[in-house]
Amino acid sequence: MIEPPAGSAHPSLRRSWLIMAAKLVVVIAPLAVLVSLVHRMAHLPTPVAQDFVEAPAALLSLALFALYTRAFEGRRVDELLLRPAPRELFAGFGLGILAISLTVAVLAALGRYRIMGHNPWTAALMPLLSAIGAALFEELLFRGVLFRFAEDWLGSYWALALSALFFGAAHLFNPHATLLAAVAIMIEAAIVLGPAYMLRRRLWFPIGVHAGWNFAEEGVWGVANSGAKPHGLIQAALHGPAWLTGGEFGAEASAVGILIGGAIGLLLFREVLRRGAILTPYWRRKSHRAATA
């Protein structure tokens, strides 16, 4: 088990709630404002506007997140430490590509994935930009704010469960979403993305995993990603029951995706346990410090 980083005294529950609420606004506001501006000025549908501005809005959210943390929490922003960022981003990106590529390979071996044609290489550019934007924004929101807040008070296990629950629920608003798809997203978030953050308590590795998975799914293999119509290098089709292939929502909602993502996630979680990187609930840490004082 680990102790939280040394620093100032643990904030009160009320102050922690205020910090979390303010950080949610800091993270969400740039995306909401930029999407609204592009929607109004360029007369683009909201989903298209979001695809164009999600990456720059997420970068702005990262900057505001770091500034807020330094100014109002008075601590170093360890979750966004820059030196290890390139290494962890590329490692995560490669792992995400590997995970979804194995999923597609199994579906192809089962006769459920069929290549219909291909597109020019430029077709991968927009899925790449969208994958980067979504990964930055969602990991900052769900792991950087919600997971960190829940873990600080309730411990790692409750944080995994709660952040996964909110992550899955948020995807219920996507096109072609089903309860099964939301449950699959919850499982993969709890088993893969949560431990990916817990390994070093930094966001770069889970951002890379998230971006690599999304990009390869849509931008390379031509499979729907979280309900979005695919536009990638390969024109492909999935055939078979939705529980096996993920249907129109995407391969992440398939039984194959859950099994492969789960296997990778369990390997990550085993490493988390090996490092003793599980945080106990605050009241246990407090009683332990009092007993050993």
Every domain of the chain and the residues it spans: 82-292
pTM, full prediction:
0.92
List pLDDT tens digits, range 40-74.
887 777 777 777 888 899 999 999 999 999 998 88
Q: What pLDDT shows up at residue 2?
A: 58
pLDDT of residue 10: 64
Decide: helix, strand or coil at residue 238.
Answer: strand
Question: Which parts of the chain sit beneath pLDDT 70?
Answer: 1-11, 288, 290, 293
CA nearest neighbour of 98 among 192, 199, 228, 204: 192
**Chain CA centroid to CA 70, Å:** 23
What does the pLDDT look like over 225-238, one tens digit per residue? 888 888 889 999 99
Distance (Å, rounded) from C-alpha 193 to C-alpha 267?
A: 12
- Looking at residue 8, its pLDDT comes to 42
Q: What is the pLDDT of residue 7?
A: 40
Residue 9 neighbours by CB under 8 Å, 6+ apart = none
Which pLDDT does position 216 carry in this prediction? 96
